[in-house]
Amino acid sequence: MGRAHGRSVPSPARSASTSLTRRGGLFGIAFPHLAALSISTGVHVHNLDRLGLPLVLVVVSVAGVGVGSLVTELHRIPRSLPSPAPPELPG
């Protein structure tokens, strides 16, 4: 990053990557108007004042990994339990 009059000047690559990240990557390039949609929450806290596409992508990704892990572990439980001993026949 260069400096001009005591302030840092962002490089074009950095500003482009920040713009892509904020708008949801390739979706933001393909559908910029949809990617820019957000819901105002009224909370005056940085990154909580608007709920947009980046938050939705993170929530969906984390929920997908969580549900996938849960399903995998639930399928693994019956296989890891020891099988019961067969009943003995009288005789």
Higher pLDDT, 52 or 2: 52
Which pLDDT value is given to residue 8?
61
Positions of E strands within the chain: 2-4, 7-9, 38-40, 50-52
At 23, give phi and psi (nearest 5°). Answer: -100, 10
Look at residue 85 and tell me if it is in a domain. Answer: no
Look at residue 44 and tell me if it is in a domain: no
Does residue 61 lie within any of the structural domains? yes
Residue 21 has a pLDDT of: 59
Q: How many domains in the chain?
A: 1
**Residues near 3 by beta carbon (within 8 Å), at least 6 away in sequence:** 9
Give φ, ψ of 61 to 5 degrees: -65, -50
Classify residue 88: in a domain, yes or no: no
Q: Which pTM value belongs to this model?
A: 0.50
Note whether residue 16 is domain-resident: yes
Residue 83: per-residue pLDDT: 72
Does 18 reside within a domain? yes
Domain-located, residue 90: no
Q: Which domain holds residue 20?
A: 9-38+49-80
pLDDT digits (tens, 9 = 90+) for 15-68: 655 655 565 567 777 877 877 888 888 988 887 888 888 788 889 999 999 999
20 domain-assigned = yes
